[in-house]
Structure formats: structure tokens, C-alpha cells
Amino acid sequence: DAGITQSPRYKITETGRQVTLMCHQTWSHSYMFWYRQDLGHGLRLIYYSAAADITDKGEVPDGYVVSRSKTENFPLTLESATRSQTSVYFCASAGQGGNAGELFFGEGSRLTVL
Amino acid sequence: QKEVEQDPGPLSVPEGAIVSLNCTYSNSAFQYFMWYRQYSRKGPELLMYTYSSGNKEDGRFTAQVDKSSKYISLFIRDSQPSDSATYLCAMRNAGGTSYGKLTFGQGTILTVHP
């Protein structure tokens, strides 16, 4: 199906474990983003990518790693999960056409760190 | 102080009411202003998109931007139960380096009851 998909949708892990959240888009959008959503904070940008092999930090990058070897995939890795990383994570993409910089979001990955 | 402030509500209105949602911001460099709607357990989806100051209307929805006051609004006319969702304001600077890098408000939870 066309669009942006995230997996897993739900994940429970323990403190100190490594977790990877996957994101795949079928629009060939150049730009991809990872946001986290927490009560009282809205959505905050973790990392973004302007193209394959180009990534940069957002507002809250500490404890996260990203890579983008292919245009369509943008995985987010928590190298050693902490309780403060319990959150809902949204992947988004943006293309060059339409509303400049309009974000298209996935359905989210709900992560709980025990 | 957050760059973007949004009253989280919750806001409960009867069907048919006019709803007013607002955000204030402090960063005068913001040039693009958006409203996203987010249903429960779903990703945000773009509702309204405006550039600089002025009004924009789309069906029952009107977005207003007052850059002199650093204040944006979303009005929903003839509200419907299907409008029940969280509404997020978002904004960004102009320029290619800000593409897709949005600063969000905390979101307002709206319930429209029949």
C-alpha cells in the first residue's frame, strides 16, 4: 500500500536494551523525520534527513541514532533505552511539491521502557 | 517558556457550535503556520496551511494568522461529532533548511457531543 508505515506499532522493552523503530515510505519523498509525542510537550523533532546518507539532529537527539541508506527507509535506534524514552514515536516524510514542507505522518510506534 | 503555547483544554462543545482554537508564539522568524488534526491512536494529518499573515478558509474551517501579535487561530463552524480530535498548531521558519522542521503546540483536545 502507498504511504508511510511504521513498525512495530507497539513495543515494550527493558532499560538498557537496544530498540529499532522502522519507517518506510512509498512516495519517494526526499525528506524524512522522527518526532516523539509526550503529554505536555506536543511533538518534538528527534532527527531528520534531507536525502539518503544525509541526516541531522533535531531538538531532542540524545540517546538516538538514525541512518538512511535508502530513500524509502529511515530507522530510528535507541542504543540503550531509558524510561524517559517511553513515548509515542512518529515518522514523517515531506516532498517538494504541494504545500512546502507539509509533513505526512505514519500511525506511530508506541514504546514503553520498563 | 515554550516557543509555541497552546491551551491543552480539554474543550467540550455541543454539535453545531463554533469552535475557536488558538496558539501564541514567541519566534518572530516563523513564516509558515499549520493546523494538524490527530484522531486517537493515529498520526497527525494536515488540516490547514498558511504562509505569513492573513486568513484562509476551507469549508467549515478558517485559519487566521496575526504575525504582529504572534497569534494564530483555527475556527470550526457547525462543529460535528466527527471533529472530535486533538488539534495541533505547528509553525516553521522560511528557507530550505527549515523544511519540515516544525515546532508544535501541545495540542488541544476537542470533543463535540451530539
Model confidence over A36-59: pLDDT tens digits?
999 888 899 999 999 999 999 999
Average pLDDT over residues A27-36: 94
Burial class of A41 by CB neighbour count within 10 A (0 to 12, 13 to 18, 19+): middle
Mean pLDDT of chain B: 93
Q: Over 70: is that where the pLDDT of B16 sits?
A: yes
Across the range B50-72, mean pLDDT stands at: 94
CB proximity B86 to A under 8 Å? no
Terminal Cα distance for chain B, rounded: 37
Phi/psi of residue B104, nearest 5 degrees: -100, 150
Tens digit of pLDDT for each residue in A7-28?
A: 999 999 999 999 999 999 999 8
Q: What are phi and psi of A18, to 5 degrees?
A: -90, 135
The pLDDT assigned to A2 comes to 66
- Average pLDDT of B30-45? 95
Burial call B33-68: b when 16+ CB within 10 Å, e when fewer: bbbbbbeeeebbebbbbbeeeeeeeeeebbbbbeee
pLDDT confidence tier of residue A97, bands split at 50, 70 and 90 = low
Q: Which residue from B41, B43, B88 is facing A42, i.e. has the nearest CB?
A: B88
Pairing of strands B103-104, B85-93: antiparallel
> Taking CA A95 as the corner, what is the angle to CA B51 and CA A77, rounded to the nearest 5 degrees?
115
Q: What is the rounded distance in angstroms from the CA atom of residue B26 to the CA atom of residue B18?
A: 27
Predicted confidence band of residue A73 (pLDDT cuts 50, 70, 90): very high
Residues of chain B with Cβ-Cβ distance to A46 below 8 Å are: none
Inter-chain CB proximity B6 and A42 less than 8 Å: yes
pLDDT at B59: 97
Among the partner-chain residues B41, B102, B106, the one whose CB lies closest to the CB of A40 is: B106
Choose, out of A21, A44, A103, A104, the residue to mutate when testing the contact with B (most B CBs < 10 Å). Answer: A103
Stretch among A75-79, B3-7, B62-66 having the lowest mean pLDDT: B3-7
